Amino acid sequence: MTTKEQERKVLTDIMNMVKELGEDSYIATAFDGVCEIASSNIRDDAAYSARYYIDETHKLQGTINQMTDKHEDYMIKMEGALERSQESLVKCKERCNAMVNRDIDQGNRIDELNAQIAKRDTEITMLKAKLYDMMTAGA
């Protein structure tokens, strides 16, 4: 079994080899972040790998895609519900306006009938007065 010191030395050698290739090399690109993970593994007695992080990232991306799809489906349903609610609101407003107009018409009709009653009451009072005058004129 290798010691931590031996692993640190090999890691340093690998880092130097990658550095010699230059930042634009294919290997340097592939090793980007890997040496840091290896250093953490040595320090922390861990066993993390770049593959683990890549796999976890893919899993998370899949979860994000599923959640995005569900969110889009939910938004479509909510837009439909909102549209139906707005249509229902328009119908309710139309019904309310019709009821208000009917009430206004009925109120106007009541006013007309009250005016007719008042006119007839006046006529009745005048006829009573004439009748009284006729009855008292001959006495």
pLDDT digits (tens, 9 = 90+) for 48-65: 999 999 999 999 999 999
Task: Give the helix/strand (H/E) hosting 14.
Answer: helix 4-21
Question: Each residue of 83-95: pLDDT tens digit?
Answer: 999 999 999 999 9
* 3-state DSSP helix/strand/coil % of the chain, to nearest 5: 90, 0, 10
Q: What is the mean pLDDT of the chain?
A: 94
Q: What are phi and psi of 41, to 5 degrees?
A: -60, -45
Task: Give the separation between CA 34 and CA 12, rounded to whole angstroms.
Answer: 12
Whether 34 has a pLDDT exceeding 90, the answer reads yes
What pLDDT is attached to residue 124? Answer: 96
Q: Does pLDDT of 139 surpass 80?
A: no
Say whether pLDDT at 23 is over 90: no
CA dihedral in degrees (101, 102, 104, 109; nearest 10)? 150
- Cα separation values, 44 from 4, 14, 37, 38, 52, Å: 10, 20, 10, 10, 17
Confidence (pLDDT) at 1: 83
pLDDT by residue (tens digit) across 101-132?
Answer: 999 999 999 999 999 999 999 999 999 999 99
